């Protein structure tokens, strides 16, 4: 009763305050008011459902369960797309779902500022690479790019392999479980172990200590952020801080920040006391000692580009979030689709046998580069189930989209999920077909019809890292087990959170490769 009453009470107070503010903003003169009227006039020319004062079109989400939100937006997109508008409170949002329109936005060198919903991530990620803009984003992007040099990625392959071996050993206990199990927690803990060691140089052992406070805090925090986005009365930081949800958010935030700060402090002390670092014998692209992402930031902070401890914390938190939640989700969708399409799974296995010749040795970078069919499977999985189904931008300069103008001051939401399933670019778009990524097909397709890692100047800096990690982990699983999915796509309910995940996880059954195939 406490949470419900608290939220209702604050919703009432916030709505009353917002009503007074809304009336004042509408009636007062000035440039800002003129700009809001311009945004309103431009968006009203676009198709979309009716809006209400204060709530905009978010009233359509009120009363919906968490697992119903994605389906609601999907229905609205199919009804009003490919260009339509919604109102999230007073924020006008233009939705685009065709490659030609998405290209105009992503190729822009001006409209690169993330949409306002990313502001809800800032208490956690600060103004790291994901949420920053302007000079800070440019300088940090340039600084961080060397962390993804080929030689550094090559040094991480051993970590991918070691954590994958732990994963398959943990999955052994699920063999023969005819009722099936949810593979999602296993993959998430593996991905968390990988990013923790490669980003911060420390072992979390999430696969052994399954009740990880960090992982629990990440899950709760992301859910709270999504709930807040859909409730305009919680958008005010002051109002949100006085609610039960705000208090819970703050508690989880403390867990995440305390962990990151502790690791940074320990790593700084280790570098200070290390002869290798003091004597300068550490080669950035050498193999004497694996340089992790945090080391790169700490080294930079000792040179000409000085990063504060807070800036280092922001970037580490950004990579911890972006490097485990995203890759684990992608791997789970790929496992699901392989378990659903057994012919594809067997082709993946045959490729593995050609590469490893029956050996159970760890993969090398060369092995991963030879996994061409598995790479096509991963890409097709990302087409059907993109990690981020929608991305947003703040319009800082007018954009012309066909007959419409997206005015300065509005937001634009790019529907990655819907452009990936558009029949204009993919024949039989709802069908899983890795051949969609044969080189000859890719060449003839619109370059912005497939953008799972975004595109343009703000594309995902870690996409090569993610693809290598996924290949290593999926290779280990497929070489050890045959997988079968228990739920057809028609039974899946998608959760629109910070990533696109299945509401009830990914339920599989496993059979050892060492046994004769059965109809298990």
Q: Is the pLDDT of residue 457 over 90?
A: no
H-helix or E-strand containing 308? none
Q: Which residues are CB-neighbours of 518 under 8 A, at least 6 positions away? A: 511
Whether 404 and 46 have beta carbons less than 8 Å apart is answered as: yes
Residue 130 φ then ψ, to 5°: -70, -40
Q: Where are the alpha helices (DSSP H) in 274-341?
A: 275-278, 293-302, 309-340
Distance of alpha carbon 90 from alpha carbon 88, whole angstroms: 6
Distance of alpha carbon 504 from alpha carbon 492, whole angstroms: 8
Place of tokens 């000079």: 135
Residue 331 inside a domain? The answer is yes
Distance of alpha carbon 442 from alpha carbon 431, whole angstroms: 17
Residue 512 φ then ψ, to 5°: -65, 145
Distance of alpha carbon 109 from alpha carbon 232, whole angstroms: 30
Structure letter (DSSP) for residue 133? -
State the Cα angle at 244 between 240 and 249, rounded to 5°.
70
What are the pLDDT digits (tens) for 400-445?
Answer: 999 999 999 999 999 999 999 999 999 999 999 999 999 999 999 9
Residue 111 inside a domain? The answer is yes
Q: Which of 450, 415, 412 is nearest to 110 (CA)?
A: 412
What is the structure's pLDDT at 304? 53
Q: Is the pLDDT of residue 203 over 90?
A: no
pLDDT classification of 194: cutoffs 50, 70, 90: very high
Q: Is the pLDDT of residue 477 over 60?
A: yes
Over the range 44-62, which residues count as b (16 or more CB within 10 Å of their CB) and which as e? eebebeebeebbbbbebbe
What CATH number has the domain bearing residue 9?
1.10.630.10
What is the structure's pLDDT at 252? 95
199 in helix, strand or coil?
helix
Chain mean pLDDT for the chain: 87
pLDDT classification of 215: cutoffs 50, 70, 90: confident
Residue 519 inside a domain? The answer is no
Tokens matching residue 397:
């300069």
Residue ranges for the known binding site for heme are 460
What is the structure's pLDDT at 197? 92
Residue 285 inside a domain? The answer is yes
Distance of alpha carbon 258 from alpha carbon 240, whole angstroms: 22
Neighbours of 279 (CB within 10 A): 8
What are the pLDDT digits (tens) for 116-143?
Answer: 888 899 999 999 888 888 888 888 888 8
Q: Which residues are CB-neighbours of 461 under 8 A, at least 6 positions away? A: 129, 141, 144, 145, 148
Q: Which of 81, 132, 130, 66 is nearest to 415 (CA)?
A: 81
Q: Is the pLDDT of residue 363 over 70?
A: yes
What are the pLDDT digits (tens) for 310-339?
Answer: 888 999 999 888 888 899 999 999 999 999
Q: Which of 330, 257, 316 is nearest to 130 (CA)?
A: 316
Residue 260 inside a domain? The answer is yes
Distance of alpha carbon 378 from alpha carbon 473, whole angstroms: 12
Distance of alpha carbon 140 from alpha carbon 326, whole angstroms: 21
Q: Is the pLDDT of residue 1 over 50?
A: no
Residue 23 inside a domain? The answer is yes
Whether 220 and 212 have beta carbons less than 8 Å apart is answered as: no
Distance of alpha carbon 407 from alpha carbon 106, whole angstroms: 16
Distance of alpha carbon 427 from alpha carbon 429, whole angstroms: 5
Distance of alpha carbon 172 from alpha carbon 185, whole angstroms: 15
For 22, the domain range is 2-512
Per residue, the 3-state secondary structure of 449-511, as one string, reads CCCECECHHHCCCCHHHHHHHHHHHHHHHHHHEEEEECCCHHHCCEEECCCEEECCCCEEEEE
Residue 281 φ then ψ, to 5°: -85, -5
Alpha carbon distance, N-terminus to C-terminus of the chain:
46
Residue ranges for the known binding site are 460
Distance of alpha carbon 25 from alpha carbon 54, whole angstroms: 12
Please indicate whether residue 24 or residue 435 has the higher confidence score (pLDDT): 435
Whether 491 and 460 have beta carbons less than 8 Å apart is answered as: no
In this prediction the pTM is 0.88
Strand ranges across the sheet with 390-394 = 83-88, 91-96, 411-415, 390-394
Residue 517 inside a domain? The answer is no
Residue 98 inside a domain? The answer is yes
Q: Which residues are CB-neighbours of 447 under 8 A, at least 6 positions away? A: 99, 103, 455
Structurally, how many domains does the chain consist of? 1
H-helix or E-strand containing 422? none
What is the structure's pLDDT at 286? 43
């Amino acid at each position: 009763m406490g949470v419900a009453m608290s939220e209702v009470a604050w919703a009432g107070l916030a709505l009353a305050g917002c009503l007074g503010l809304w009336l004042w903003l509408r009636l007062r003169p000035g440039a800002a008011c003129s700009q809001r009227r311009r945004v309103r006039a431009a968006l009203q020319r676009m198709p979309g459902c009716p809006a209400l004062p204060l709530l905009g079109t978010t009233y359509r989400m009120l009363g919906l369960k968490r697992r119903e939100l994605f389906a609601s937006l999907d229905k609205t997109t199919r009804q009003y797309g490919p260009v339509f508008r919604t109102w999230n409170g007073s924020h006008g949002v233009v939705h685009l779902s065709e490659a030609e329109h998405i290209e105009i936005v992503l190729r822009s060198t001006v409209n690169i500022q993330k949409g306002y919903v990313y502001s809800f991530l800032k208490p956690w990620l600060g103004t790291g690479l994901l949420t920053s803009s302007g000079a800070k984003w440019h300088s940090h992007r340039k600084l961080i790019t060397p962390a993804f040099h080929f030689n550094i990625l090559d040094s991480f392959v051993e970590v991918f392999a070691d954590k994958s071996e732990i994963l398959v050993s943990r999955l052994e206990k699920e063999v023969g479980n005819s009722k099936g199990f949810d593979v999602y927690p296993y993959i998430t803990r593996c991905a968390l172990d990988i990013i923790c060691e490669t980003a911060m140089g420390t072992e979390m052992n999430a696969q052994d200590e399954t009740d990880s406070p960090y992982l629990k805090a990440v899950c709760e925090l992301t859910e709270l952020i999504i709930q807040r986005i859909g409730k305009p009365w919680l958008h005010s930081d002051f109002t949100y801080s006085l609610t039960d949800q705000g208090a819970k958010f703050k508690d989880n935030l403390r867990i995440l920040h305390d962990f990151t700060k502790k690791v940074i402090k320990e790593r700084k002390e280790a570098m200070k006391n290390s002869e290798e670092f003091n004597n300068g014998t550490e080669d950035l692209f050498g193999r004497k000692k694996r340089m992790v992402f945090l080391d790169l930031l700490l080294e930079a902070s000792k040179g000409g580009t000085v990063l504060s401890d807070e800036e280092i914390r922001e970037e580490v938190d950004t990579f911890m979030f972006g490097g485990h939640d995203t890759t684990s989700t992608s791997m789970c969708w790929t496992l699901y689709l392989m378990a659903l399409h057994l012919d594809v799974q067997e082709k993946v296995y045959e490729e593995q046998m050609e590469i490893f010749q029956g050996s159970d040795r760890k993969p090398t970078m060369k092995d991963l580069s030879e996994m061409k069919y598995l790479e096509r499977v991963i890409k097709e999985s990302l087409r059907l189930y993109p990690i981020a189904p929608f991305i947003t931008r703040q319009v800082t300069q007018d954009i012309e989209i066909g007959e419409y103008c997206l005015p300065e001051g509005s937001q634009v939401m790019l529907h990655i999920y819907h452009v990936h399933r558009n029949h204009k670019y993919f024949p039989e778009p709802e069908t899983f077909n890795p051949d969609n990524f044969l080189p000859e097909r890719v060449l003839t397709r619109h370059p912005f019809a497939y953008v799972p890692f975004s595109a343009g100047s703000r594309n995902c800096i870690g996409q090569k890292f993610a693809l290598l990690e996924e290949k290593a982990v999926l290779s280990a699983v497929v070489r050890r087990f045959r997988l079968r999915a228990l739920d057809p796509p028609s039974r899946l309910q998608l959760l629109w959170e910070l990533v696109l995940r299945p509401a009830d996880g990914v339920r599989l059954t496993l059979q050892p490769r060492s046994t004769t195939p059965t109809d298990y």
